[in-house]
Amino acid sequence: MNIEALQSFCKSLPAVTEDIKWDNDLCFCVGRKMFCVASLEAPFRISFKVPDEEFDELSVRDGFIPAPYMARAKWVSVTNLSRVKQKELEHFISQSYTLIRQKLTKKLRKELGLE
C-alpha cells in the first residue's frame, strides 16, 4: 500500500479528516482523534491502534513493532509493508477507526453523522 492508496482508503470511512502533524506525519482522524498515522518520509510506516488482546501478538510479528510513543495506548507500526497484504492492512485500519470511533462521545458521534 502506498500513500495514495492509504489516503483513498482512510478517506472512504465516514467523517474522516486528515492533516499533517510533527512536520512529516500524515494523520487520519475521526472526531479529532487519530486512528492512523503514516510517515511521509522514508522509511514509509503506517501506525494504528489495535485491540488490547492483539497488541502483544502483533508487536512481535515480522514487519511490525510497538508504535513509538503510542505503544502504551496499544498502537503498532508496520515497518515492512511487504509483510502485510493490502486487505489485511485495510482490516487493521478499519478496526482502528472503529476502536477510536467507539470512544467518541455520543453527542460528537451524532454531530458527525455517525449515529
Spatial neighbors of 32 by CB under 8 A, at least 6 apart, are 17
Query: Per-residue pLDDT tens for 50-104?
Result: 999 999 999 999 999 999 999 999 999 999 999 999 999 999 999 999 999 999 9
Predicted pLDDT of residue 1: 85
Predicted local confidence at residue 90, as pLDDT:
97
Is residue 23 over pLDDT 90?
no
pLDDT of 88 reads 96
In which band, very low, low, confident or very high, does the pLDDT at 32 lie, cut at 50, 70 and 90? very high
Residue ranges of E strands in the chain: 16-21, 25-30, 33-39, 46-49, 64-66, 75-78
- Give residue-wise pLDDT tens across range 48-58: 999 999 999 99
Residues of the chain above pLDDT 90, percent: 89
> What distance in Å separates the CA atoms of residue 111 and residue 109, rounded to the nearest whole number?
5
The domain made up of 3-106 has a fold known as Aspartate Aminotransferase, domain 1 (3.90.1150)
Per-residue pLDDT, 42: 84
